[in-house]
Amino acid sequence: MEEIQKTRELLLGKLETLEEKRFILRAPELRALYGKIKDQPEDQRSAYGQAINKLKAELEELTSSDIRYQISNIKPIDVTAPFDVNAALPELLPTENGTIHPITAEIEKITDIFYRMGFEVSESREIDDEYHMFTSLNFPEGHPARDDYDTFMTEEGFVAPAHTSTMQNRIIKARKEKLEQGEPIAVLAIDRVFRNEDLDARHEHTFHQAEGIYVG
């Protein structure tokens, strides 16, 4: 608990210096606490996790209060007024008064759950090579997925990944020592993927995908 208190003091200090207050919720120090839940004695894990959640709730409240204050000071804009080229343009809303995109918000929720389960999070790639996209995953030569009409490919042979499995080979190699020592690895790979699938006669498919990799 002393470690959580020290982290709280550190994060509150950082919060004072951040322009984007909500970024404190992504602080590596906070994520590191969740990763240590599994290392606590079994009879103390629940209390340890609750203490971390209490700290996060406190940071969320401080962040939301700051955002509400900023929004309350925005000057209203009359959207019904006719445009007048001789009038001064209204001030643009500062970026800190925006909101998180719904997909980003869901990704943060998902990664937070996996963090608390002891997973690491590894961002995928939006452009990759054929080896990591196909060969390392045992896609045989001539597999339909290798055709450029089924997968987005550049003239140089690079690929816009159709799945986050393109990270599996890298993740396992980077943690080879843990496997050799008999320790499990747990990683969540999440990012955008690209598939050449017609939604209608004109549009193709781009979406986010998450894949949990557990080897133990």
- pLDDT tens sequence across 61-70: 777 755 554 5
- Report the alpha-carbon distance of residue 14 to residue 91 in Å, rounded: 30
CA distances from 42 to 5, 30, 117, 165 (A): 20, 21, 14, 33
Coil, strand or helix at 84: coil
- Report the alpha-carbon distance of residue 65 to residue 162 in Å, rounded: 40
Whether residues 127 and 211 fall in one domain:
yes
Q: Which residue has the tokens 């643009």?
A: 92
- pLDDT tens sequence across 13-43: 887 777 777 777 778 888 888 888 888 888 8
pTM of the entire structure? Answer: 0.48
- pLDDT tens sequence across 68-97: 545 455 555 555 655 555 456 666 666 666
Whether residues 49 and 125 fall in one domain:
no
- Amino acid present at 63: T
Average pLDDT over every residue of 185-208: 69
Is 29 within a domain?
Answer: yes
Is 127 within a domain?
Answer: yes
CATH of the domain at 189: 3.30.930.10
**130, 137 contact by CB (below 8 A):** no
pLDDT above 50 for 214: yes
Whether residues 133 and 209 fall in one domain:
yes
pLDDT above 60 for 177: yes
pLDDT above 70 for 204: no
